Chain A
Amino acid sequence: MKNNTGERKLFRLQDIIPIVIMLAVPIVYFLAASGKDGAYAEISRDGEVIAAVPLDSDGVYSYPQTGEMEFTVSGGGITVSKSDCPDKICMETGKLCRAGDTAVCVPNRVVVTVYGESGGDVDGVVR
């Protein structure tokens, strides 16, 4: 395989096409899925729903199933405000306000997803 390193180019103009497609598809999908203000957040572990928290009821929430984790609702959004996981990606994700916004804590196997208007309408959720 050493032979084909010499003739290989760094970049060709037509590379832009697949790169733009790879950028556009997830972004358009993401924009189409989010948008509406969230109504409530679902907190789940291992795919099982633990709680549905309305985003207008400010406060700090914690659950026996999620251990050390704490969830703070304020100003129409929810954040993971405390977690004992190593990377803290769930906390760094920040405030989730819009339908489809999701914070994930893989070590604790916890997912927080914001949904739009109550219940049945799952239009705004990235699945």
Chain B
Amino acid sequence: MTGFRPKGMSFSRYIAVMGILFAAAAVLNLLDSAFSAFLPAGIRAGLSNIVIMTAILGINLPSAFLLTLLKALLVLVTRGFTAGVMSFCGGTAAFAVTALLFGKTKATYILVSVFGAIFHSLGQLAAAAVLLETASVFAYFALLSVSSVITGICTGAALKAVMPGVLKIISKK
């Protein structure tokens, strides 16, 4: 587990924190599925991305990517192969751009979150384009970019609101 657990954090605390974060991601993912019934075709609110962003800011990049992989695995098990592959590609793209913006710039929470949401959509569409061997899936991008901006603003605000509490849990001795 070298590289995953931050220095100074006990092993048991690390396992507990990661367990809580993954459980939160799983529940938010379930909420996403519930909400998607009321949204236009293919749109999900992306609430579980809040957890990944929390881990990027509060723990470290390897742990955040591990959560991204676990989330894709959960989707693979609960919603099937296609959804799992698309979650992995969308999640990885969102993770990369979020990590870059949080690590290297002073971009605001909302801006980072909107970029993350848009790259999540792009990653998913790229996966769909490869699976289908056609680029016509990008016809969905206009709709997805609008929904990404809206959900990005919401998740960015939520992230800013929960971050102090999460940091307290993570760094408590």
Contacts and interface: CB of A to CB of B under 8 A. Distances in A.
A44 interface: yes
Interface residues of A, number: 46
A10 B140 contact: no
B106 A8 contact: yes
Majority SS at the chain B contact face: helix
A104 B40 contact: no
Given A47-B134, A102-B137, A107-B82, A94 B142 contact: no
A93 B41 contact: yes
Interface string B3-45: 0000000000000000000000000000000000000111000
Contacts of A107: 80-82
A47 B48 CA distance: 32
A126 B136 contact: yes
Contacts of A38: none
B145 to A, nearest CB: 4
B96 interface: no
A59 interface: no
B149 A111 contact: no
B142 A102 contact: no
B164 to A, nearest CB: 9
B41 A15 contact: no
Interface of B: 40-42, 56-58, 60, 79-83, 86, 102-103, 106-111, 114-115, 118, 128, 131-142, 145-146, 148-149, 156-157, 160, 163, 167, 171
